Amino acid sequence: MEIHLRFKGTPAQFRVVAAMVARRWTRVGHMSRIFLGERARGENPNYAVVELHADPVKYVTFKPTEVVAHLLPNGESELTLVEEDKYWPPVEPTWKILYGELIKQGWVADPTKPSVAEGEETERGPGRRELDRGELIYRLAKAQEAEEIKAREPDKRWKEIAKAIGWRLGLTASGVKLLEYARDRLKRAQKEGDRELLNEVKKYRKEKKIIR
């Protein structure tokens, strides 16, 4: 299971919203296992403190599954959740509660309203979203380009490589992390022999003249 979701706020704002959701649902006997990541021992997760400019921010929905908020160049965030399918069933109910609250409060786009532009997400069932196909192909093409540079110049840092390939999701720690997710997704496609997807990546690179 892999979810990418555009959040209309900073990672710090996401953590505050998530904390309030956890507090409310814990009070009424739900979501008792939700807590915030990276907290001091004994700290009440409902009152966790986060720095205003923290990036990225982790939120644990059901230990050890994490939702990670990465700051994007436009000041919004991308929420990423990656989990093996076999561990998804116990996580899904909790995720759906959080996802529903984010929609209700206007922090993420309502999937029932038809508005999908490049870089946004497309719906794949309740609470399940993946990248728009065009954005996915872009990221995989850039990930492939990055891997090729790394193979030629193993001492080069990933941040330098992200800059070299013109990675449009930024050169912050979060931007580089999103490139890592793209590289992992590319490797999975190669391992699974997803020819359709890989051919689209190849075509994109040819059209954009980024074959190295």
**What residue segments make up the domains of the chain, in order of their start?**
2-131, 133-208
- More confident position, 58 or 29: 58
Task: Quick: pLDDT tens for 64-106.
Answer: 678 888 888 888 898 888 877 787 888 888 888 888 888 888 8
The SS3 assignment for 107 reads coil
Express each pLDDT in 147-166 by its tens digit. Answer: 999 999 999 999 999 999 99
| 70 touches 56 (CB < 8 A) | yes
Percentage of the chain modeled with pLDDT above 90: 21
- List strand residue ranges (DSSP E) for 11-158, in order: 35-36, 57-62, 65-71, 77-82, 121-123, 129-131
Lowest mean pLDDT: which of 44-58, 98-112, 133-147, 172-186?
A: 44-58
117 band by pLDDT with thresholds 50, 70 and 90: very low
Cα separations (Å) of 204 from 184, 185, 209? 19, 17, 8
Percent of the chain with pLDDT over 70: 74
